[in-house]
Amino acid sequence: MSLEGKIALVTGAGRGIGRAIAEELAKRGADVVLADRMVDNAKGSAQEIAALTGRQTLAVEVDVSSTESAKAMVEQTIERFGKVDILVNNAGVTRDNLIMRMDEAEWDAVIDINLKGVWNCSKAVIRAMMKQRYGRIVNISSVSGLAGQAGQTNYSASKAGVIGFTKALAREVASRQITVNAVAPGFVPTALTVDLPEDLIEAMMKITPLGRMGKPEEIAFAVAFFASDEAAYITGQVLSVDGGMMMM
């Protein structure tokens, strides 16, 4: 699944799953823009990936919850590389709390970044993709968006919204040979999950048939497939990469 000659833009790429995705796409031949609110993380990861793969990389600061910031990110990408072939909407946050204790700021922060951020970045890139009659958009959802999770009404709602957004946009842009798909990770140890209680982690492992946590690179493999020409006839789909947790 070569991505030679492709330009990929990955949000939330400074660390964790986003960094793993950026690295995997570069390994397959893409030049990669690593966008992150914490631009120092993005710069460090960009340098490491360039050294490892020999591909061109660019670090860009972005606040995906801002329409103007998302537009500037895409403009910088096109100014440097001339186009955008692949967009991976990975940036996300958690603000876990029971609804009785959750305040409006915790709700708004998660919806603004996890859901509005996907809309902002997709809207910013879609005109260029439609002009070139080619594009791959891959959105990172979650098993929480498929089944819900206690203490995550905000996060689960945002990730369920990403799934609905994915299907709707896939219908809108299919005639221009742009595919839009989603990957729904299960439990993967990252900065977003490091503070989860041990008893919750144990409970998650009990309902995961493969009996282990996922790895960031395993999410990246699924993203790379959706980004490839081998997936050209797949759109509007959600792939759970969760060790069987959501098996139906």
Q: Which of 155, 165, 187, 226 is labelled catalytic? A: 155
| C-beta separation of 98 from 151 below 8 A | yes
Q: Which residues contact 80 (CB under 8 A, 6 or more apart)?
A: 33, 58
Q: Which of 64, 166, 79, 77 is nearest to 112 (CA)?
A: 64
Q: What is the pLDDT of residue 78?
A: 98
> How much is the pTM?
0.94
233 given a catalytic annotation: no
Q: What Å distances lie between residue 197 and 82, 100, 143, 201, CA to CA? A: 45, 19, 18, 7
Q: What is the pLDDT of residue 15?
A: 96
Q: What is the pLDDT of residue 223?
A: 98
| C-beta separation of 85 from 6 below 8 A | yes
Q: What is the pLDDT of residue 204?
A: 73
Question: Tens of pLDDT along the chain (248 residues)?
Answer: 899 999 999 999 999 999 999 999 999 999 999 999 999 999 999 999 999 999 999 999 999 999 999 999 999 999 999 999 999 999 999 999 999 999 999 999 999 999 999 999 999 999 999 999 999 999 999 999 999 988 999 999 999 999 999 999 999 999 999 999 999 999 898 766 666 667 667 777 778 888 888 999 999 999 999 999 999 999 999 999 988 888 75
What does DSSP assign to residue 66? -
Give, for 62, the enclosing helix (H) or strand (E).
none
